[in-house]
Every structure is written in structure tokens, then in C-alpha cells.
Structure 1
Amino acid sequence: MADPISDLILRVALRDRSAFSALYEATSAKLFGICLRVLKDRAEAEEALQEAYVKVWNNASRFSITANSPISWLAAIARNNAIDRLRARRPETVELDEEMGGADETPDPERLVMSRETGARISACLDELEANRADAVRGAYLDGYSYQELAEQFSVPLNTMRTWLRRSLMSLRKCLET
């Protein structure tokens, strides 16, 4: 027996508006949660959700029952859309005081030394990880790549990438605590 969400997506691919409405009813709360978690702004998350469903409507024919879990497929669309919005945000405007040379915010020598030491410790701990795991951590947390992008880059399943990152962060925490 086929999954009801899969059936709805297949009917949406045939431009069935009632199926689209039912799909929205069945999945919008979960997808909104994903958008809200990424964007941390309710209004922007609502806009991202709307855009995600437009993408679902336009790309439902690309859904493959054998290759994708329907919820994973929908969640990836919502998450990637929210991440795209996050990346597209304009940098915050510069305050006039900063532009006019307000207070000197250069760290004092003690903070510079501490910052360098912390950076060196993190770097040393990253070096203790397997090279591909360390590269994945840098990609996710320094370069802003999504889990899906990293999974594709390293040619591993999405859940494997999540496991790599979770275990790597646990190893880093343990290393930094010693």
C-alpha cells in the first residue's frame, strides 16, 4: 500500500488542486517548523513556507516514490528554501558611530592571545578527526553548507552526513574539555 503523502504528491504532479490542499493540510505544520528553526523569524518562515509549496507544486513531477521518502523530500525543499533565504539576507546596515570611527573595538592584547589559543585548540581538535569529517564540520559550521549539500559533496546519504557531524561535534567537545 502506497504512502498517502506520496499519493498526494503524485496527484499534485497531475495538477490536482484538492490533492495540493490536502498535502498542505497534512504537512504544513512540520514544514513550517523547519522554516522557523532555520530563519528564527515567524513572518519570514511563513513566506519561506509559501515559496516551498510553490516549488512543490512546480516540481511534484520530479518526486520519485522509490528514491525518496515523501516527508524527507518535502522537508528538503522547505529547509533548502529557508537556507537560501537566510543566505540572501542583506548584511545589516553599518551604524553611523562605527562608520565615523566611534569607540575602538579592537580586542586588547590579552583577548587576542586567548582568542588565538582557542582557535589553535579548535584547530588541533579538528586535526584529530578523520580528514573528511573535519572538512564536513568546516563546511557546515564555517562555510554554511547545508547537510544535503555536504552529503552530495562527500557522496554519502543525508543521514550518514548527519551522523558524521553529530559524532564529530561530540568528539570536538570532548577534545576541548580536556
Structure 2
Amino acid sequence: MDITRWSIPKSDYILCSQRWRSSIQSAKIRPGADRGSDHELLIDKFRLKLKKVGKTTRPFRNPETFWTTTGMFPQEFIICFHKHVKIEKLIIRSYFVRTLRIEKSTSKEPVDFEQWIERDLVHTEGQLQNEEILARDGHVTYLRFIIVSAFDHFASVHSVSAEGIAVSNLS
């Protein structure tokens, strides 16, 4: 796998396969985020375009592409929907995630998040965790996934699948 590295002073690295390097929009360090470690909290922003999947097409799935933590917790990532959507079900495939919190926002920008779901996941040694969540009050524009704790120093999220309907365009 080809790996591209962006070095940021006094921090770790963002690793991304060569195929997705143009998706990274920015990376920065959050000053003053003391996590009891010599690492800095690193925030990266990337663009993700979701494809509609019909009955005759299959989604692109690269089993070697996933999001992983750097060993400090909490860790988070944000998914943006380019429309207001009503989510009915989420399916999350992860590894070594102990506690997962999902926050939602209906704002035009990724702000004003409110806690939506928090789950303790079952440890599945040697295989991915498959967590299916039936959503209540799932009107969202942004979802923030926070890995609160893990079963090991590192954890990973391999896929997030959201089922629901588009409610309206962002204006």
C-alpha cells in the first residue's frame, strides 16, 4: 500500500493511502488539549463523497482502508451529509472499540452537537465488531463519532453505513 505522510510540527502523522490523498483538506493541532501524553491532539479535515447505491451497483469497498486511533482517548471523526437527512439505522464495523458516543448536529456547519447515542460494544477477539443501531430522532446534517475508550491502545473503525432518507437540501 502506498502511504502519503503529512508532517505537522510537534505532532504525529496522518497516514492516508495514495488513492485518497486529495481528500485531505487540512490538518492542525488543537492547542491546550492536554491528554496526559507527549502527543498533541491532531485534527484532520477530509472530504468524503457518498455514492448512492442502487440494486444494480455495488458500493466501493476496500477492506484495507479504515480509520484508526493514535492510542489516546477520546478520539473523534465527523461525517457530513450534504443534505438534512433522517437516519433510521446505523451499522458500524470496528475493532477494539469499548465505548462509542455519537453526537448529532442539524446546523449548516459542524457545530452545536448534542449527544445522541452512547454504546458499550462487545469485545470480539480476532474479528470486527458489528454494531447495528436503530435510530430515534435521527434528523442530522453532521454526525460526530467519539471513541471514548477501547479494549487496547489502538482501535479502528472500518465502516459506517447509514440508512434513511434525505429530508431537504442545505440552504
Report the TM range for the smaller structure's normalisation: under 0.3
Higher RCO (CA < 8 A, seq sep 6+): 2
Looking at secondary structure, tell me which structure has more strand per residue: 2
Larger radius of gyration: 1
Looking at secondary structure, tell me which structure has more helix per residue: 1
Normalised by the length of structure 1, the TM-score is: 0.26
Normalised by the length of structure 2, the TM-score is: 0.27
